[in-house]
Chains A and B, each alone.
Chain A
Amino acid sequence: MSTEQAQPAVAVDELILETEAAKGTTTGIPGRERGERIRRAIAYVVMFGVALLFAIPFLWSVSTSFRTLADTVGSFSLLPKHWTLSGYREAFHTFNFGKYTLNSFIIAGAVTLSNLFLASLGGYAFARLKFPGREVLFLLVLGTLMIPDQLRLVPIYLMLVNWIPAWVGHLGWHNASFVNREGLILIQLVSATSLFLMRQYFLTIPRDLEEAAKLDGAGYFKTYWKVMLPLAGPALAAVGILMFQGTWNGLFWPAILLQDPNQYTIPIGIAHFRFAYTTLWPPLMAASVLAILPILLLFVVFQRYFVAGVAAAGVKG
C-alpha cells in the first residue's frame, strides 16, 4: 500500500497539476503548456505563502531564541537586533536540559511502545474477533475519550498515592510509590484514540490473509503477531507519532506527578521560565525550539507511512 506512487491529480480550482500518466501525452499545444506552468507557479507561490503563515510562530520562536531579554520587550523586530546564544546557554545552565530530554524520551518512548502493543492487540480483537458484549465494550472505550483530565485529577492522584500502593502492598511490594515517572507512564499505557485507530485499520485488511494463516494452523496470537501486525505498519506509525508527540508535549500530568526534579521533563523545564511578573522568553524559546526538533524529525521520517495508516482507519469510520 505504497503512498509514494504518484497520485492522480485531484485538482482544486487553481491547482492543476500534471499527473505522471499525463506526462508527455496529448498536451502538445505550447500555449496551453505555458499557461499551465504559470498557473502551477502561482500555485506554488500561494502554497509557500500559506506554509510561511503556518510556520511563522515557529520561526518567531527561533528568532526570539537568539535574542537578549531586553530585545524581547522592546519594539517589535522580525530578526534579533543582536544575535546571541545567551538564551541557549541559559536554558542549558538553568536546568539540566540533557536530563530533562532523557526523561522526556524515556516517558514518551515507554508510553508509545505500550500503546503500539496494547492498542493493536485490542484493536485487532475489536475488529476481527467475535465475543459477547463487543459493541458495548467498544462504546466503553469510546466513552473514555469523554472524560476530561481535570475531572480525573483527584481520583487518579488518590489512586497513585494511596490505593494502588496499598493493593500492591498486599502482594508483598511495600512502600511502592507511583508519584513519579513510573506512575506517569502507568496512567498512559493505552489511549482510546490509538485503539480506535488500530481497529479502523484492521477492519480494512482483507480476510484472506487471516484465512491463509488459519489454514496453516496458526493460532490467534500468531495470526495477530505474524500476519496482521506487519500489515499494520502504517497504522502503527500513525499511533506512534500521535502518542509520542502527545506525551512529549504533555504538561498536565507531569507537573502533578513528577515531584523529583531529577525526573522533570522538558515541558516542566520550559514552564520554569514563566514567572508571575516576567517571562524569560529567550531561554524559553530556545528550549521550545530544541524540544520540537525530535518530534519534527520523527514526523518527517514517518509521515510517509503515517498517511497510509490513518487512511484506511478513516475509511470504515
Chain B
Amino acid sequence: MRKRLMVPALLAVVLVASVLAAGSQAKTDRSKAPAAPSGTVTLNGWQVSPAEETKLSKVVADFERTHPNIKVNYQSITGDYQAQELAKFAAHKPPDVLYVDVADFVDWAKQGVLQNLDPYVKSSHFSTKPFYKNLLNAFKYRGHYYGFPKDWSSLGMEVNTTLLGNNPVPKTWAQLRSVASRINVPGGKPICLSADWARLMAFVYQAGGTGQWKDATTAPFRAAANFYVGLLKSGLAALPSDLGSSWCGEAFGKQKVAFAFEGNWMFPTMASFPGVKFTTAPMPKGKRHGNLAFTVSYSMAKDSKNKPAAWELLKYLVGRQGMQQWVSLGLALPTRVDVHAVPGRGAFLRYPSSVHGWGAQAGFRHIWNDVANNELTAVIAGKESVNSMLQKIAASAR
C-alpha cells in the first residue's frame, strides 16, 4: 500500500519540485538574461563640429533610456586621439567602445587591441546585410568583423555656379581642364587642390589604380599624379595656402576658386559663407569613376571589462535607430541602406561602386602622414619629380 503511494507521491514531489525549480530558474534566468547586460560603458570619440557633439550626447541619452541598466560614459578626446588611445591600449585600460578611423584600423587590429565582433554578431543575430559592402569590408580583418562603420563621407566636386558662367559642369578630366582654362577667377585660380594624398588618391582610383601604397610606381598612380600636379604647375589650380586659406573649403567659401574637391562636410561649412551660389557634382571621371570613403568605425576594445554592455551600445549606435538620428545632422552619410541620408547628397552617392575606403592597409597612416604628403609637397614645389616621389612611397610600403 505504501509502496503504491510512494511512487505518485514521489512523482508529485518531483513535479512540485521541478515546477518550483523551474519557477525560480525562470526568475534567475530573467536576471541573468543575456538581453540585460548592465554596468558602465566608456565611449571615446572625437568631435568634428559642435553640432556633432550635441547630437552624440542625444543619441547616447536615448540609448540609456532604452537600456536603463547601462550607463554610458562618453569622453570626447581633445588633442591627439591616436596618441591617447595607444597609451590606453598599452596600459590595458582602454575605453569599451571607441571610434577607429579607417586609416588606423588595420594597424590597430594587427596589434590585437580590438575585439573580434563575430561571436557577438552571431549570438545576437545582428544583421550586417543593410550595410554598404565596401564600408563593411573596410573594417574586416582576416575575414572577421572588428568594427562597424558609423558614418562616412566621400568627395564631390563643388562648383561655384556664378564663376562657372555658361560653361557646362565638367564630367571628365579633359573637360575639367578645358572648362578651368576658360574661367577667370578674380584674385584666385580656377581650381583649389590640396597637397594631400587624401585627395590625390581619388584621382588614382579614377585612373584605374589600386590605391595601395605598394603599387605607387604603377601607371595609374603616375597618370593621376601627373594630372594633379600638372594642374597646379599650369596655373589652373592653386594650393589653399596660396589662396589665403587653411583648406580648400575655406578658399571655395571665400570665392577664390570655382572648383574644389571636398566632401559632404562642405554643407555646414558653406553655412558660414552665405551668398555663395554653388552646386555639387560627382567627381570627374578618368578612365573610370573613383572616389574615397572617409569612414570611422565603432569598435570594441579587446581589453574591455564589460563586453556585453559594450556590444549593446555598439549595436545601438550602428543600428537603424541610432544611425538615423546621427545622420539627421546632415554632416555625414549613413552606412546603412535602410537609413536615409539628408537630401541633397546625391552627388556624393552617385557612383557607390566606385568608392574605396581611405585606408585599410597596414602602415597606412604612417606612410600617408610621414612620407607621401611630404614627398607630394616637394613635387608641387618643383623640388622632386613625380616618379621619384612614387618610388619613395612604394619603397616605404614594402
Contact in complex: A271, B79 (CB < 8 Å) = yes
Closest to A252 in B: B79
Known contacts being A73-B250, A154-B90, is A278 close to B269, with CB within 8 Å?
A: yes
B87 contacts the other chain (CB 8 A): yes
Closest to B244 in A: A76
Residues of A65-123 contacting chain B, CB below 8 A? 69-70, 73, 94
Contact in complex: B92, A276 (CB < 8 Å) = no
Chain B interface residue number, banded: 20 to 34
**Cα A276 to Cα B268 with chains together (Å):** 12
A157 contacts the other chain (CB 8 A): yes
B142 to chain A, nearest CB (A): 27
Contact string, A259-283, partner B, CB cutoff 8 A, digits 1/0? 1010000001001100111101000
Binds A, one of B43-51, B161-169, B204-212, B283-291: B43-51
A228 to chain B, nearest CB (A): 41
**Cα A261 to Cα B77 with chains together (Å):** 10
A162 contacts the other chain (CB 8 A): yes
Contact in complex: A162, B50 (CB < 8 Å) = no
Contact in complex: A256, B79 (CB < 8 Å) = yes
**Cα A271 to Cα B50 with chains together (Å):** 12
**Cα A256 to Cα B249 with chains together (Å):** 31
Contact in complex: A162, B247 (CB < 8 Å) = no
Contact in complex: A255, B247 (CB < 8 Å) = no
Contact in complex: B272, A73 (CB < 8 Å) = yes
A251 contacts the other chain (CB 8 A): yes
Partner among A153, A157, A272 whose Cβ is within 8 Å of the Cβ of B47: A272
Q: By the criterion of a CB under 8 Å from any partner CB, how many residues of chain A are at the interface? A: 24
Closest to B274 in A: A70
Contact in complex: A157, B90 (CB < 8 Å) = yes
A99 to chain B, nearest CB (A): 16
Known contacts being A252-B79, A255-B79, is A153 close to B87, with CB within 8 Å?
A: yes
A158 contacts the other chain (CB 8 A): yes
Partner among B49, B76, B77, B91 whose Cβ is within 8 Å of the Cβ of A161: B91
**Cα A149 to Cα B50 with chains together (Å):** 30
Residues of B64-111 contacting chain A, CB below 8 A? 75-80, 83-84, 86-88, 90-93
Contact in complex: B272, A153 (CB < 8 Å) = no
Known contacts being A271-B78, A277-B265, A277-B269, is A256 close to B50, with CB within 8 Å?
A: no
Closest to A276 in B: B48
Contact string, B317-349, partner A, CB cutoff 8 A, digits 1/0? 000000000000000000000000000000000
Contact in complex: B272, A275 (CB < 8 Å) = no
Chain B positions within 8 Å of A158 at CB level = 87, 90-91
A169 to chain B, nearest CB (A): 15
Residues of B17-66 contacting chain A, CB below 8 A? 47-50
Partner among B78, B92, B250 whose Cβ is within 8 Å of the Cβ of A162: B92
Closest to B247 in A: A277
Contact string, A132-159, partner B, CB cutoff 8 A, digits 1/0? 0000000000000000000001100110
Residues of A50-68 contacting chain B, CB below 8 A? none
B253 contacts the other chain (CB 8 A): yes
**Cα A259 to Cα B84 with chains together (Å):** 11
Chain A positions within 8 Å of B47 at CB level = 272, 275
Chain A positions within 8 Å of B77 at CB level = 255
Chain A positions within 8 Å of B84 at CB level = 255-256
Chain A positions within 8 Å of B351 at CB level = none
Chain A positions within 8 Å of B87 at CB level = 153-154, 157-158, 256
Contact in complex: B50, A94 (CB < 8 Å) = yes
Question: A-side interface residues toward B, CB under 8 Å?
Answer: 69-70, 73, 94, 153-154, 157-158, 161-162, 251-252, 255-256, 259, 261, 268, 271-272, 275-278, 280
Apart from A70-B272, A256-B79, what 9 extra A-B contacts exist at CB < 8 Å?
Answer: A73-B273, A94-B50, A153-B87, A154-B90, A158-B91, A252-B79, A255-B78, A255-B80, A271-B79
Closest 7 CB pairs of A and B: A255-B79, A161-B91, A157-B87, A271-B78, A276-B48, A255-B78, A161-B93
